[in-house]
Amino acid sequence: MNPKRFGLPVAAALTAALLSGSAMAQVSDDVVKIGVLTDMNGPASAPTGQGSVTAAQMAIDDFGGTVLGKPISIVIGDHQLKADIGAAIARRWYDVEQVDLIVDVPVSAVGLAVQNIANEKKRLFITHSTGTADFHGKFCSPYAIQWVFDTRALAVGTADAVVKRGGDSWFFITDDYAFGHSLERDASSVITANGGKVLGSVKPPLATPDLSSFVLQAQASKAKIIGIAAGPPNNMNEIKTGSEFGVFKGGQQMAALLALITDIHGLGLQAAQGLLLTTSFYWDMDDKTREWSKRYFAKMNKMPTMWQAGVYSSVIHYLNAIKAVGTDDPLKVAAKMRETPVEDFFARNGKLRDDNLMVHDLWLVQVKTPEESKYPWDYYKILSTISGDKAFGPPDPACAMVKK
């Protein structure tokens, strides 16, 4: 272009137009597309499922529906808790449907399969409902982010807080697979480090129909705390059986290393009363949590789990990062997400570390008695705050992204 021929005003206008076109091209395919990959009808659907979809849509709506002048859209997939189905959907989304970010993805096997696809396709993935610490450990990736919890935070957070409150003798009922074993191992290390004792454990297989004998062994141990190192369905069945056998009335307490508010709702306070657990989020904690949760309740007719609230939090943080850097380039967006503190209704003192784990405060809570509960979903008494650094611990040296 010859500025003298066109005149400076025209040349400046053309240059501005070219720059504007360049900026517009920073959003791939002229749309920011977010895929909610979840369990829509299976055993994980209550704490994730449609509630996670609703949370993501709320975030998009609250953000205004566009970013950098481009629309934000959402797609939904049901992986049916099967790793091969989850991986196939993720591959199609990234390859064909040009999805920029996948969120949610309950259960570790599916989450790790989706992470592999995200790495291969160099697209972002944020997991909320998968707890394995391998996400930010030996399998850590610049494209995969863990937002809500990991097994270490729940196990260590609960054990540390409970021992310091006098619960210094434990007996575990542990799911007999890697998830349960890791919960028991992490909790046991903290118990013994704080001067407590682990009196033993029993290990029922996953989905054991009758857990009576295992609960009776735990009860007979006389341990102050019966640790439930299990996920669904064993964890809720063990708590229900313990209530029926008078564990709480006998002076023992049960501590669930993974339990969600939808689990407590399903059990009912009569069965769950007295249970100790650690959570990343409680809807009735303060004005900020209540305001968002009541809007969610109006759409879902139930209160959100920590996983569903975390979906909203991460999607807003992701969209703000796109706006700040002027592009949806995955690595640039992830870098901005790490650079920006996470302080919202969901997270207190939140930060996305170099290993792509979002570290934030957690809370030790106790399930209320039916008499203590004054209104629907009034389920928890907050006993103490657990700092994120204490709960999650230092970055795993096995992560190649961690600065040595």
Question: DSSP string spanning 219-262?
Answer: HHTT-SEEEEE--TTHHHHHHHHHHHTTTTTTT-EEEESS--HH
pLDDT of res. 11: 45
- What is the spatial distance between Cα 157 and Cα 329, in angstroms, rounded to a whole number? 35
pLDDT of res. 233: 86
Name 35's bridge partners: 75, 102
Q: Domain end: 228, 249, 279, which one?
A: 279
pLDDT of res. 43: 85
**Residue 44: inside a domain, yes or no?**
yes
φ/ψ region of 213 (left if φ > 0, alpha if ψ in -120 to 50, else beta) reads: alpha
**Residue 92: inside a domain, yes or no?**
yes
Residues 290, 144 share a domain = yes
**Residue 344: inside a domain, yes or no?**
yes
Peptide bond preceding 3: is omega within 30 degrees of 0, i.e. cis? no
Residues 230, 81 share a domain = no
3-class state of residue 77 by DSSP: strand
**Residue 394: inside a domain, yes or no?**
no
Residues 64, 81 share a domain = yes
Q: Domain end: 217, 247, 279, which one?
A: 279
**Residue 364: inside a domain, yes or no?**
no
Domain of residue 298: give its range: 29-149+285-356
Residues 75, 39 share a domain = yes
How many folded domains does the chain comprise? Answer: 2
Residues 112, 58 share a domain = yes
**Residue 271: inside a domain, yes or no?**
yes
Q: Give, to the nearest 10 degrees, the angle between helix 287-300 and helix 49-63.
A: 120
Which strands sit side by side in the sheet containing 362-367, from one edge to the other? 197-202, 169-174, 225-229, 253-256, 276-279, 362-367, 380-386
Q: Domain end: 321, 338, 356, which one?
A: 356
Strands (E), 253-297: 253-256, 276-279
Residues 338, 232 share a domain = no
Residues 135, 58 share a domain = yes
For strands 351-352 and 276-279, give the pairing.
unpaired
Q: State the CATH number of the domain containing residue 246.
A: 3.40.50.2300
The answer to whether the Cα torsion of 222, 227, 233, 234 is positive or negative is negative
DSSP single-letter state for residue 210: -
- What is the spatial distance between Cα 223 and Cα 200, in angstroms, rounded to a whole number? 9
Residues 220, 115 share a domain = no
pTM of the model: 0.91
Residues 335, 271 share a domain = no
Residues 335, 247 share a domain = no
For strands 70-78 and 32-38, give the pairing.
parallel
Residues 177, 239 share a domain = yes
Residues 259, 205 share a domain = yes
**Residue 398: inside a domain, yes or no?**
no
**Residue 2: inside a domain, yes or no?**
no
Would you give per-residue pLDDT tens digits along the chain (404 residues)?
A: 444 444 444 444 444 444 444 444 489 999 999 999 999 999 899 999 999 999 999 999 999 999 999 999 999 999 999 999 999 999 999 999 999 999 999 988 899 999 999 999 999 999 999 888 889 999 999 999 999 999 899 998 899 999 999 999 999 999 998 889 989 999 999 999 999 999 999 999 988 999 999 999 999 999 999 999 998 889 999 999 999 999 988 999 999 999 999 999 999 999 999 999 999 999 999 999 999 999 999 999 999 999 999 999 999 999 999 999 999 999 999 999 999 999 999 999 999 999 999 999 999 999 999 999 999 999 999 999 999 999 999 999 999 999 86
